DNA sequence: GTCTATATAGTGATAGAC
DNA sequence: GTCTATCACTATATAGAC
């Protein structure tokens, strides 16, 4: 069983800088910003606390870098979902499925983003300046709006405001993952039961949204 | 304008103990447990930090008392909503309306409860032992389940699992308030616009759930 | 680049005076 | 019941040796 030369992690970059980043992300995800210390990060990395500050100077800097990356990745998933050229029903199904799958790979992301945006008005300002105002992100929403209006004028779907449809899909998708720790713990579910539950919930959300959109 | 004798707050109890409790609740709601210190609580109350510990001994004790009260109040609202003797459609409408109104009076509650349950497995255990297992709370869900099944057998509503219906209503209701700080800040809405938005969202959620329940 | 050492400040909690 | 004083810890951040 000599595995000396086997590369075990496809994306592994063993520089201290990236190891600190990765450990920090894991801890921020699990515990949030306030409850995570640079001392704890250093301990789990196996370096000194000074090194964390050497690379990122402040805990806030380290956090921001991770936060920004995660928001960008999430917005990209949303952007990509809107590229679909299928029928509107198929597009909705594909989009919801894509969101569920992306969050299944990263189930702590919704809470991580929510927590920091709710608790820190400064981060909301930061998000507004860096994303919401950017033309490319405005375009994503306008594209979605235009397509919905078009389908409605053709009489293929029911009347609903684009913002309401967006909020409805976001609610049901995001809340599934926000409530996952409670689902698992309060109902004593195994990991495999949780996986089944997510799949079942995905199907059900798709079914319900389609029904809402029926003319 | 002599108002010396006017009682300004109907529930005000000016004992230090309750003032500490009230300020603590406000700060825990705004910042969460980890980001709130007993020093800060004392400063806002206008007493010394030692006094906070005199009444509640530990920060965890103080938090638990507030946390428990809030969960109990929330579960009572849910319990009351199930007492309705109206038609199922009217019952659903009434229930969703009740949840929206209760949360409008306490918009930070969903995040407060969510944050502490997600970040602290010990609090989930505490919740499971004190509520989920209690016969009275099990009964609330079984009542809801029975009524739904009954309506389905009578062919008055579509087939849907009770748990799915519950999650759907919870998703759309709770997420509205979880995302409120982002809605307000990112879209630069005034308080009065936010109030309108909540009312509009309530109507829309009721409409959608009714549509989902149509046979 | 990584370490040790430390400055400075804040934390939760308690002892003891009044 | 409320205060002052203090303990033992931990926090972030930096200076300086190697």
Average pLDDT rounded to a whole number, residues A107-121: 92
* Per-residue pLDDT at A116: 86
Residues of A in contact with B118 (CB under 8 A): 111, 178, 181-182
A213, pLDDT greater than 90: yes
Distance, angstroms, CA B51 to C1' D7? 17
Cα→Cα distances B165→B28, B121, B131, B170, B212, Å = 31, 26, 21, 8, 9
List the single residue in B35, B121, B175 with the smallest CB-CB distance to A171: B175
B10, pLDDT greater than 80: no
C14 nearest neighbour residue (CA to C1'): B50
The CATH H-level superfamily of A64-213 is: Tetracycline Repressor, domain 2 (1.10.357.10)
List the single residue in A35, A164, A208 with the smallest CB-CB distance to B212: A208
Residues of A in contact with B103 (CB under 8 A): none
In tens, the pLDDT along B71-103 reads: 999 999 999 998 888 899 999 999 999 999 999
The per-residue DSSP string of chain B comes to ---TT----TT---SHHHHHHHHHHHHHHHH-STT--HHHHHHHHTS-HHHHHHHHSSHHHHHHHHHHHHHHHHHHHHHHHTT--S-HHHHHHHHHHHHHHHHHHSTTHHHHHHHHHHH-HHHHHHHIIIIITSHHHHHHHHHHHHHHHHHHHTTSS----HHHHHHHHHHHHHHHHHTHHHHHHHTT--HHHHHHHHHHHHHHHHHHHHHHH--
In tens, the pLDDT along A59-96 reads: 999 999 999 999 999 999 999 998 888 899 999 999 99
A155, pLDDT greater than 60: yes
In tens, the pLDDT along B107-129 reads: 999 999 999 899 888 889 988 98
- Residue numbers in A 35-74, CB below 7 Å of strand C: 47-51, 54
Fold (topology level) of A1-57: Arc Repressor Mutant, subunit A (1.10.10)
Better pLDDT: B11 or B4: B11
- The reply to whether residue B111 touches residue A111, judged by beta carbons under 8 angstroms, is no
Q: Which two tokens stand for residue A64?
A: 């921001």
- The reply to whether residue A164 touches residue B201, judged by beta carbons under 8 angstroms, is yes
Nucleotides of C strand lying within 7 Å of any protein CB atom: 1-5, 10-16
In tens, the pLDDT along B34-69 reads: 999 999 999 999 999 999 999 999 999 999 999 999
Point out the least confidently predicted range of A5-14, A121-130, A165-174, B53-62.
A5-14
* Per-residue pLDDT at B12: 56
Listed by range, residues with Cβ under 7 angstroms from strand D are A 36-40, 49-50, 53-54, 57-60; B 15-17, 47-51, 54
Distance, angstroms, CA A65 to C1' D17? 30
* Per-residue pLDDT at A120: 85
Q: Which two tokens stand for residue B62?
A: 């103080």
Residues of A in contact with B196 (CB under 8 A): none
A198, pLDDT greater than 60: yes
Give percent of chain A above pLDDT 90: 79
Q: Where in chain A is the domain with CATH 1.10.10.60?
A: 1-57
* Per-residue pLDDT at A52: 98
* Percent of residues in chain A assigned helix, strand, coil, to nearest 5: 75, 0, 25
Average predicted confidence (pLDDT) for chain B: 92
- Asked if residue B136 lies in contact with residue B80, where contact means CB atoms within 8 angstroms, the answer is no
User: How far is Cα A110 from Cα A176, in angstroms, rounded to an integer?
Assistant: 10
List the single residue in A161, A164, A185 with the smallest CB-CB distance to B124: A185
* Per-residue pLDDT at B1: 37
Average pLDDT rounded to a whole number, residues B129-144: 88
A2, pLDDT greater than 60: no
Average predicted confidence (pLDDT) for chain A: 92
pLDDT-based confidence at residue B211 (cuts at 50, 70, 90): very high
Q: Where in chain B is the domain with CATH 1.10.357.10?
A: 64-213
């Amino acid at each position: 069983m000599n595995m000396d030369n086997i590369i075990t992690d496809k994306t592994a970059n063993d520089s201290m800088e990236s190891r600190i980043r990765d450990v920090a992300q894991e801890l921020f995800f699990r515990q949030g910003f306030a409850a995570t210390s640079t001392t704890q990060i250093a301990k789990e990395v196996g370096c000194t606390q000074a090194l964390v500050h050497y690379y990122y100077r402040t805990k806030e800097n380290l956090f921001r870098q991770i936060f920004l990356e995660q928001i960008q990745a999430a917005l990209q998933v949303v952007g990509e979902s809107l590229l679909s050229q299928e029928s509107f029903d198929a597009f909705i199904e594909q989009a919801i499925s894509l969101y569920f799958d992306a969050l299944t790979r990263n189930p702590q992301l919704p809470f991580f983003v929510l927590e920091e945006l709710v608790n820190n008005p400064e981060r909301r300002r930061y998000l507004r300046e860096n994303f919401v105002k950017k033309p490319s992100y405005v375009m994503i929403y306008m594209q979605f709006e235009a397509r919905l209006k078009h389908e409605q004028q053709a009489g293929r779907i029911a009347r609903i405001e684009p913002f309401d449809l967006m909020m409805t899909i976001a609610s049901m998708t995001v809340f599934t993952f926000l409530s996952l720790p409670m689902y698992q713990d309060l109902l004593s579910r195994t990991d495999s039961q949780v996986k089944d539950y997510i799949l079942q919930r995905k199907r059900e959300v798709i079914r319900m949204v389609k029904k809402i959109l029926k003319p």
